[in-house]
A = this chain, B = another copy of it.
Amino acid sequence: MFRHVKQYQYHAKPEKADPIFAKQMQELIGGQWGEMSVMIGYLFQGWNCRGPAKYKDMLMDTATEEIGHVEMLATMVARLLETSPVEAEEAANGASDGGIVASVLGGGDTQSAIINAAMNPQHAVVSGMGATPRDSMGNPWNTGYIVASGNLLADMRFNVTAESQGRLQVARLYQLTEDPGVRDMFSFLLARDTMHQNQWLAAIEELEADGLEDTPVPSNFPQEREMSGVAYQFMNFSEGEESAEGRWANGPSKDGKGKFEYVASPEALAPEFGELSEVDPRLYGTPKQPKSPASS
């Protein structure tokens, strides 16, 4: 069960409206690596967790924090889309055609024309100057972006990825704006993403220290059932051998169970490219030979 506290975890107001940046910033809300992905991803990982209580509690802690991050970002987008109350009132009285909404409504200068042409039309037509749960190109967020597999090491590797891609995107958007209010809020998000990258890396260390999971995931699948001969071979399928210079081609494997080997010319392990069997005539696929009609 959840409770809502009527304060933002952190917030700052933009200095001025900027619908183009509002469009770009949507990536952080409803993009593949936006805050909705970590919010919903961590919630389902927590709810489905059958492991030790400290992991489940930790997942619920951070999942709950992330709901508040979507809240912060949605509010920021709404503010980047709004005119000041004064402008709005004047516009209502027909006394003004200034401001962002006026631009959207067809103001005449070049900047207005650019904003009108390039802004996200759904910010005007669908959400009425509110944030949408979509990315910067308008794609609806969907749960094909997340995972909750029940295997905590597999999932925490995903979580490190999500926080890495997420922090990378905030850093790039930081370069796309000079608004001090937006940058202020981003400085908070960047710091939390720093924490969360560290947190999931620490959780991975802990899972291994607790003896619960290890590389290769899943580690309690009996490894003698895999084909050991190819389990530590790097295979060179692309012309050139620059790839021979990397750590992945030399020395002990990272799981400590093998030694990397470089295969410069990988050969097929299956001697022939056997044909598929004949098609069933009742399914009307193309056979190897002409056939008389199927009956049924």
Give the residues from 238 to 296 in chain A that come closer than 8 angstroms, CB to CB, to chain B: 238-243, 245-248, 253-255, 258, 260, 266, 268-288, 290-296
Alpha-carbon distance between A139 and B188 when the two chains are bound, in angstroms: 31
Alpha-carbon distance between A138 and B140 when the two chains are bound, in angstroms: 11
Q: Does A95 contact B (CB under 8 A)?
A: no
Chain B residue with the shortest CB-CB distance to A31: B126
User: In the complex, are the beta carbons of A283 and B129 less than 8 A apart?
Assistant: yes
Q: Does A38 contact B (CB under 8 A)?
A: no
User: In the complex, are the beta carbons of A195 and B154 less than 8 A apart?
Assistant: no
| Copies of this chain held together in the complex | 6
Residues of chain B within 8 A (CB-CB) of A65 are 2, 235, 237, 266
User: In the complex, are the beta carbons of A150 and B127 less than 8 A apart?
Assistant: yes
Alpha-carbon distance between A74 and B43 when the two chains are bound, in angstroms: 10
Alpha-carbon distance between A218 and B133 when the two chains are bound, in angstroms: 23
Interface magnitude class on chain A = 35 or more
Q: How far is the CB of A260 from chain B (nearest CB, A)?
A: 7
Give the residues from 219 to 251 in chain A that come closer than 8 angstroms, CB to CB, to chain B: 220-223, 225-243, 245-248
Alpha-carbon distance between A169 and B58 when the two chains are bound, in angstroms: 25
User: In the complex, are the beta carbons of B175 and A130 less than 8 A apart?
Assistant: no
Alpha-carbon distance between A52 and B274 when the two chains are bound, in angstroms: 13
Q: How far is the CB of A188 from chain B (nearest CB, A)?
A: 5
A-B contact pairs, 23 of them (CB 8 A): A1-B5, A5-B268, A9-B266, A23-B121, A32-B144, A32-B147, A54-B246, A57-B238, A79-B277, A113-B114, A128-B168, A140-B144, A144-B144, A144-B145, A158-B161, A164-B217, A175-B296, A198-B215, A207-B286, A211-B290, A220-B281, A220-B291, A222-B294
